[in-house]
Chains A and B, each alone.
Chain A
Amino acid sequence: EAQVTQNPRYLITVTGKKLTVTCSQNMNHEYMSWYRQDPGLGLRQIYYSMNVEVTDKGDVPEGYKVSRKEKRNFPLILESPSPNQTSLYFCASSSRSRVDQPQHFGDGTRLSIL
């Protein structure tokens, strides 16, 4: 089954404790992206990756890092989480013709930073 898998689905942690949210897709997609969703603001793009070892900032990259060492994986790293990063996070992927191909979303990760 074609899917985008995120882990964990839920996480409550404390300020400053490094965390990683994993994202893996099994569709051989080149393009992957991370979004955060906050009430009233819609989905905002954090980082995206065009292919292995190619990443770039989205609209709200501050406080986040990503890496793309393998095509299927695109982890989101919060080196020193802060309460303003409490949010619902989605990973998404699409094929190389990214503009005219839809994005496939993971089930989301709800992060609470205390």
Chain B
Amino acid sequence: ILNVEQSPQSLHVQEGDSTNFTCSFPSSNFYALHWYRWETAKSPEALFVMTLNGDEKKKGRISATLNTKEGYSYLYIKGSQPEDSATYLCAFPFINGQNFVFGPGTRLSVLP
């Protein structure tokens, strides 16, 4: 069974703090790595899809990096705001990119 891990499981930060968390995935047969943000009572929304080793993507205060050779991706949030409070999921497509395995998520709480 494919294993996609995320750490930490949960995180509490103060407003204005910068933070980062990790997604680890198998380094062989890499197709892409997806990041989603999932707010309580809503549906997951896509943040980034990363496909190339060394990829760096940015959307506002959120950015992500990718290392396919060692099998990890970092998600960074600069100057966290309460509205950043959510669960952040990574997803790894395999078997020709058709099946998706999601990590368990990192739950971020930003305290005002």
Contact = CB atoms under 8 A, between A and B. Distances in A.
Nearest to A39: B104
B89 interface: yes
Interface stretch (A12-20, A68-76, A96-104): A96-104
A104 B42 CA distance: 12
Interface string B21-63: 0000000000110101000001111100101000000000000
A59 B99 contact: yes
B111 interface: no
Contacts of A45: 99-102
A107 B43 contact: yes
Interface in A39-88: 40-45, 48, 50, 56, 58-59
A59 B91 CA distance: 14
Q: Which 4 pairs across A and B sit closest by C-beta, in order of nearness?
A: A102-B46, A99-B97, A105-B43, A43-B102
